[in-house]
Chain A
Amino acid sequence: AQKITQTQPGMFVQEKEAVTLDCTYDTSDPSYGLFWYKQPSSGEMIFLIYQGSYDQQNATEGRYSLNFQKARKSANLVISASQLGDSAMYFCAMREGDTGTASKLTFGTGTRLQVTL
């Protein structure tokens, strides 16, 4: 089974509108972390937001928020007030294990977001 599933290969959103990018995950580890990264056409991976499996509240970072539904194993990224500069690939990733040990990220296949005027 895929550990990280992103079912939307591409999404369009109008400028100033909100958009939700879907991510579901699969793990049997009770301790894990979920990340969202943005990858513009330049290629660099830019960290956006993090959610720990034991965090009680949904993470927020400026215009980014993470809709974490643990029972459904989903961690959707919500971008509010979209801007043209938000056009990029977005990757959901998971770290299994607690924060005491650095461990690899497993990435999904990504969603390409296009913001239109």
Chain B
Amino acid sequence: EAGVAQSPRYKIIEKRQSVAFWCNPISGHATLYWYQQILGQGPKLLIQFQNNGVVDDSQLPKDRFSAERLKGVDSTLKIQPAKLEDSAVYLCASSLMGLHNEQFFGPGTRLTVL
């Protein structure tokens, strides 16, 4: 079974530029999560989708961050314009409902904003 795919793995941009990250969850997983992990901290949820609907985006900085999950499969997270403090690893995860909802994580995208 293929895992969660993310691209790109690394991205370096200047502040005020825009950037987009892509995630393809495990086939059949209805729930998709985007987490931000700043160096030295644990991951923090940005947004959670159930199929193509948003369940929780309370910690998403909506003035600059946006995300979509068209057709309930893969997802894109965008930052526009980027700030220095957005430098972090962006992790995508997916899960099935039921059992204990173990979340499977992708390899992450490491973003550096200069």
Closest chain-B Cβ to A12's Cβ sits at a distance in Å of 19
**Chain B window 42-60, contacts with chain A (Cβ cutoff 8 Å), 1 for yes, 0 for no:** 1111001010000110000
Selected contact of B31 from candidates A4, A37, A102, A106, CB within 8 Å = A102
- What are some 25 contacts across the A-B interface (CB < 8 A)? A35-B102, A37-B105, A42-B107, A43-B108, A44-B105, A44-B106, A44-B108, A45-B43, A45-B105, A46-B105, A47-B103, A50-B100, A99-B98, A100-B97, A101-B97, A102-B50, A102-B95, A103-B56, A103-B101, A104-B56, A106-B45, A107-B42, A109-B40, A110-B41, A110-B42
Which of A95, A104, A109 has the largest count of B CB atoms less than 10 A from its CB?
A: A104
Interface size class of B (residues with CB under 8 A): 20 to 34
Residues of B within 8 A of A101 (CB): 97
CA A52 to CA B97, docked complex, whole Å: 15
Q: Does B33 contact A (CB under 8 A)?
A: yes
Which residues of A (79-117) have their CB < 8 Å from a CB of B? 91, 93, 95, 99-110
Q: Is the CB of B100 within 8 A of A100?
A: no
Selected contact of A102 from candidates B101, B104, B108, CB within 8 Å = B101
Q: How many residues of A contact B (CB 8 A)?
A: 27
B interface residues with partner A (beta carbon < 8 Å):
30-31, 33, 40-45, 48, 50, 55-56, 89, 91, 93, 95-108, 110
Chain A, residue nearest B45 (CB): A104
A interface residues with partner B (beta carbon < 8 Å):
4, 33, 35, 37, 42-47, 50, 52, 91, 93, 95, 99-110
Chain A, residue nearest B3 (CB): A44
CA A33 to CA B56, docked complex, whole Å: 18
Which of A45, A93, A102, A106 has the largest count of B CB atoms less than 10 A from its CB?
A: A102
CA A33 to CA B40, docked complex, whole Å: 24
